[in-house]
Amino acid sequence: MNAAARPVNEEELQAWVDGWLDPARRGAVERFLAENPDQAARLGDFRRHGDILRGSLRGPDREPVPERLLRAARGGAARRPARWLPTAMAAMLVLTLGLGGGWTLRGALEKPDEVAPGAGAAGGDLLVRAAAAHRVYSVEVRHPVEVRAEEAHLIAWLSKRVGTPLSAPDLREFGFRLMGGRLLPARDGAAAQFMYEDAAGRRITCYIQADTKGVETAFRFAEEDGLAAFYWLDGALGYALVGPLPREEMLGIARAVYRQTEP
């Protein structure tokens, strides 16, 4: 029996789905599918499901490759970053937006006091709690927030518990809708977390705590593997904005939060 006339088998059908079919057998498979609409529908579904999976899971090829992996690929010594949550400050690169001085980049652990006199620990503590809360709650499907934005008492309740009048920043100009908020522990008391979501399902959280001991800081930036955070103390409240967005996008949103909450 010559190759074109041989009956098709399951392996060949799978190979047709994946584009690995021997070209000599394409005619036979396509004739078979024309005569067997059930099989054509089945293979069509296989292709479609494959497209959905590929589209859903692929992504890291569009992300910038971390420098440490590039160094490792080139055979250089690549340091592993310390972990953000367990080791707090060690992991951070702090980016200060000096009021007149432009951008400077330094390690917060080495010289935290130069970044924000007297406030290194307070800001780091804020960041660690905000990031932990973000990681825990932003992945929640059923209960991402404790009180939904639609409920009128959300702001009054959080203000009362945090101990100072709060407002939820309006981030609709960036495509982020307020989902609601929740009450969380802070170092000495309570903090509020507001959660936002955009049309793509990305979630960012704004963590606000009252305990700043009157310290003010510039914007500081930290990021680790896909999560970016800007955080600052404004003398009355401490803010940390955390989300899976690129730095520039987070900065725009952080500036809007800052404008809206200026004391």
Partner 1 sequence: MSDFARRLEQEIPALRRYARYLLRDAERADDLVQDCLERAITKRRLWHNPDRFRPWLFALMRNLHLNQVRWRGRRPSEVPIDTASPLTPHPESQVDRVQAVEALAALEDLEADQREVLILVAVEGLQYKEVAETLGVPLGTVMSRLSRGRERMRAAMTGGAPGAATLRRIK
Q: Does 179 bind partner 1 (CB under 8 A)?
A: no
24 forms part of the interface with partner 1 (CB under 8 A): no
Please name the residue that has the structure tokens 């609601």.
180
Judged by CB under 8 A, does residue 49 bind partner 1?
A: yes
Give the nearer residue to partner 1 in terms of CB position, either 122 or 242.
242
Does residue 82 belong to the site contacting partner 1 (CB under 8 A)? no
- Which of 221, 213, 261 is CA-nearest to residue 117? 213
Q: Is 68 helix (H, G, I), strand (E, B) or coil?
A: helix
The yes or no reply on residue 50 touching partner 1 (CB under 8 A) is: yes
Q: What is the CA radius of gyration of the chain?
A: 26
Of residues 139 and 152, the one with the C-beta less far from partner 1: 139
Q: Does 60 bind partner 1 (CB under 8 A)?
A: yes
Should residue 2 be labelled a site residue for partner 1 when binding is judged by CB under 8 A?
no
Of these, 107, 144, 244, 252, which contacts partner 1 (CB under 8 A)? Answer: 244
Residue 182 and residue 143: Cα distance in Å, rounded? 10
Residue closer to partner 1 by CB (options 14, 104) is 14
Closer CB to partner 1, 6 or 172, in the complex: 6
69 binds partner 1 (CB under 8 A): yes
Within positions 90 to 149, which residues make up the interface with partner 1, using CB under 8 A?
Answer: 139
Residue of 27, 66, 98, 163 interacting with partner 1 (CB under 8 A): 66
Counts for the chain of helices (H) and strands (E), in that order: 9, 9
d(CA 77, CA 222): 23
23 lines the binding site for partner 1 (CB under 8 A): no
What is the rounded distance in angstroms from the CA atom of residue 79 to the CA atom of residue 20?
41
Q: Dihedrals φ, ψ of 151, to 5°?
A: -85, 125
- Residue 155 tokens, joined: 């702001």
- 104 strand-pairing partners: 96
CB of 36 to partner 1, least distance (A): 8
- How many CB atoms sit inside 10 A of residue 62's CB? 6
Per the CB < 8 A criterion, the answer to whether 74 and 65 are in contact is: no
Point out which residues bind partner 1 (CB under 8 A): 7-11, 13-15, 17-18, 20, 38-39, 42, 45-46, 49-50, 52-63, 65-66, 68-70, 72-75, 78, 80, 83, 139, 200-202, 224-226, 244
